[in-house]
Amino acid sequence: MDLQLDGRHRPVIVVGGGQAGLSMSRCLAGAGVEHVVLERERAGHEWSARRWDSFCLVTPNWQCRLPGFPYPGDDPDGFMVRDEIVEYLQQYKNSFDVPLVEGVAATRLRQLPGGGFRLATTHGELTADHVVVATGPYQVPLKPRLAEKLPEHVVQLHSSEYRNPRQLPDGEVLVVGTGQSGCQIAEDLHLAGRRVHLAVGSAPRVARRYRGRDVVAWLEDMGYYARGIDEFADADAVRFRANHYVTGRDGGHDIDLRAFAREGMRLHGRLTGVHNGQLVFADDLRRNLDAADAVSEGIKDSIDAHITARGIAAPKEARYVPVWHPADEAGTLDHTTISAVVWSTGFGRDHRWIDVPVFDGKGYPTHRRGVTSCPGLFFLGLPWQHTWGSGRFCGVGADAEYLTQCVLAGERAADVRWISGTPVNTAPDDDWIAPRTVA
């Protein structure tokens, strides 16, 4: 739909035209709710602009089930690569009459005294009864301050800027961080024949397949992706926990850092500082590798229990045996050894344009299932917004449908206090209670 902003009032404004914003639009359209979707770039921009050339999904294609648009291809057990993901989103956008306006950035959101909102944009102002912020959690690439201590000859890229090994100068490369991005970029460089140093953090890992199936399929059957955040006693820790590293590359396989080390990759503990020309690493490599393996084996334990309890016929499989063990001592690395650093150190949030008091002291929006303390203001597409699937193609649709029902019901979140996930009616002037969050 080719729209131009006309400044008129809308019942709902959706900010963000990625998978979350498009899912919200599909649900609102299905409910007959007039709305507009604003996207500062083009739909799917984050996937095309912030992913490296060999990037692919880590969950099987069959989990791509945006509202009204399940995966349409012929490889449900495969893993879409970057360009296929962008095409999938374009096909989704074209599958219904989405009121999308591209090239428009939101610059300030204010609550109106009588209710509703005024949204300033790069193309004028709009008003609405409801606003859904669907911009995702990854706005600002983060690099640690110690990056400033590296000499000028070292090329530094954030993972969002990395594209391929040819982009980096000749020489050895340090990758910092072992979340999904760090491990996959380290593998990309390693397979290209580059000498890679990897600073290993505390992220867990998971096997790609176990007992005849993709582990994601087992976890789906076991209800892991539908389990609500309120079911966890340590909800704060769960919500901000690093994702398990694994890959869908070349049909999907484990990422075994020990195997990389055996093949020549140099593993280190966490990078803790740069002193006197030396990169300094913590004495935690062995502990981090062992902890990642323990998580993977624990998931296999759960799968075994599931198979036994239901009498499922599944082939037996030998358990993982570590193929390499590190030395115990902390290490250093002369910075003249490396020519480049790829910082796989995550992203921060930038909600400074939202002039509404719904954030905690770390800048995280206080919410329950995306419903904030401000009537009519919602968030969509956050990791663990409600379930493990919330920030993924498999779960964002359920969250969008829930928020659509909240819009239809005129949800008044300010009149509700949530304690341990249970709504309790309170006086409007009571303190807002929300889970403690961290950046």
CATH number for 211: 3.50.50.60
Considering the domain architecture, whether residues 225 and 238 belong to the same structural domain is answered as: yes
Is residue 322 located within the same domain as residue 173?
yes
Choose the final residue of a domain: 305, 328, 346: 346
Q: Quick check: is 1 in a domain?
A: no
438 within a domain of the structure (yes/no): no
Q: Is the dihedral of CA 379, 384, 387, 388 positive or negative?
A: positive
Residue 5 inside a domain? The answer is: no
Structural domain harbouring 115: 10-139+349-425
Contacts of 191 (CB under 8 A, 6+ apart): none
Q: Is the pTM of this model over 0.75?
A: yes
Task: Verify that 226 and 341 share a domain, yes or no.
Answer: yes
Based on the fold, state whether residues 309 and 392 are members of the same structural domain: no
pLDDT at residue number 438: 29
Closest Cα to residue 239, out of 384, 398, 408?
384
- Do residues 274 and 199 both lie within one domain? yes
Residues 74 and 183 in one domain: no
> Is 4 among the domain residues?
no
Residue 155: partners with Cβ closer than 8 Å, 6 or more residues away = 168, 169, 339, 340, 341
Q: Is residue 338 part of a domain?
A: yes
pLDDT means over runs of 10, the chain (439 residues): 70 97 98 96 91 97 96 96 96 96 97 95 96 91 94 95 97 97 98 97 97 98 93 84 94 98 97 93 96 98 98 97 88 94 93 95 91 96 93 94 95 38 30 26
Statement to judge: residues 146 and 133 lie in one domain: no
Looking at the structure, do residues 202 and 307 belong to the same domain, yes or no? yes
* Residue 301 one-letter amino acid: D
Residues 202 and 325 in one domain: yes
The structural domain count of the chain equals: 2
Alpha helices, H only, 43-111: 45-49, 82-94
* 263 and 288 belong to one structural domain: yes
